[in-house]
Amino acid sequence: MGPTLSREDAQDRYDVDHVRYQSSLKYELQAWLDKRKQGSELYLIHDSEKPEHLPKDLPLNVEQLGPAMDAARGVKDEYEIRMIRQANKVSGLAHRRILENIQTMSNESQIEGSFLNTCISHGARNQAYQIIAASGPNAAVLHYDRNNEPLSKKPLVCLDAGAEWNCYASDVTRTFPLTGEWPSDYVRDIYKLVERMQEECIQLIRKGTRYLSLHDLAHDIAIEGLLALGVLKNGTNLEIRQSGASKVFFPHGLGHHVGLEVHDVSERSIMALHQGFDQLQYRPILDSTCLSPCTLSAPLLEEGMVVTVEPGLYFSSLALANARHQPSARYIDFDVAEKYVHIGGVRIGDDILVTATGYENLTTAPKGEEMLAIIRGSA
């Protein structure tokens, strides 16, 4: 079976306050019971976790521990930030290696294999989530994971992949052309639009910001850009937003917390609505899975939070076919939109730390002009 961790090793590796052997749990709890004050409660996440040997009349609290743990995970301490930074460092090396060698690859599977190889070679044996190596129309599938199709004649690859380091996740997405040159104006225009969505949203990250406002801004920029390209038509930004037409092309939330899970928890979702928000303005651009219950005070970004900013625009034949039967169809030029279907989608995603004075981008994977230069071999 091999050696196991000592208590000292485990405490050093995982930065916890106390380490006990499972075999001593019964005696540790009994010692606590013998010393506890009358009325003390045992806090559990679930009823099913209660050890069988404990008294049946022991007061249990299964309502407060889970939310308290979620709240504690929302803001990261220095150790956690170091772990996420290291996960991003390894991910950045793996993304760079793909860019350096993409012109020698012929299948999505080679991208996945190369990414895994680089991560493992640098000490990150686990991925934070299933690698997405989606070429061409596959990039319109948000969680595509077959990663087995030829790259030939595909205009773009969307690579969404992040390593894990000591149980902490990174979440990194890059979209790039196979040759380091934009194969058409269609491809370049969509990339530049998503690039602008991300850059302008990142610039506004600071403590006290409502993350939902950034999601709103991303939709504003998307609508403006798609109107200019002729994909959207017949309405103002507000009319198109309220119809939900922009969600046909940008169907997911702008981002989420990152930590022990790639979609980490917090006290309340950063995508929560609150009573001061105009429901008509926001509901059409949000999926129900993005929302927490409406509250008087939706959460603000705090120093120490790590969140993703990962906008995307997608041109899915299935989504367009479904949209033809919706009231929002009057705002979409389907003939123009169909010209972009071969692209699939463009997504760009980074992990952003909220600091005392603004933000720090923890993601080091190349993007933009640097990314293109690496592919061409001219970096």
Buried b (16+ CB within 10 A) or exposed e, 294-304: eeeebbebebb
Count of C-beta atoms within a 10 Å radius of residue 287: 11
pLDDT digits (tens, 9 = 90+) for 86-140: 999 999 999 999 999 999 999 999 999 999 999 999 999 999 999 999 999 999 9
Confidence of residue 275 (pLDDT cuts 50, 70, 90): low
Report angle CA 122, 123, 124 to the nearest 5 degrees.
100
For the chain, state the CA radius of gyration.
24
Per the model's pLDDT, the better-predicted residue between 284 and 295 turns out to be: 284
Q: CA separation (Å) from 165 to 14, 81, 168?
A: 11, 11, 5
CB 254 within 8 A of CB 215: yes
61 - beta bridge partners?
A: 43
CB 81 within 8 A of CB 122: no
Q: How far is it between the farthest Cα atoms of the chain? A: 75
pLDDT at 293: 44
What is the C-alpha end-to-end distance of the chain, expressed in Å? 47
Confidence of residue 174 (pLDDT cuts 50, 70, 90): very high
Average pLDDT over residues 230-247: 94
Domains along the sequence of the chain with CATH: 22-62 (no CATH), 78-277+290-376 (3.90.230.10)
C-alpha 78, offset from chain centre: 21
- The whole-model pTM stands at 0.92
Lowest mean pLDDT among 14-18, 164-168, 281-285: 281-285
pLDDT at 281: 57
pLDDT at 279: 55
Per-residue HEC secondary structure of 311-355 comes to CEEECCHHHHHHHCCCHHHHHECHHHHHCCHHHCEEECEEEEEEC
Tell me the pLDDT of the chain averaged across its residues.
Answer: 91
pLDDT at 287: 55
Q: Is the pLDDT of residue 288 over 60?
A: no
Report angle CA 11, 17, 20 to the nearest 5 degrees.
65
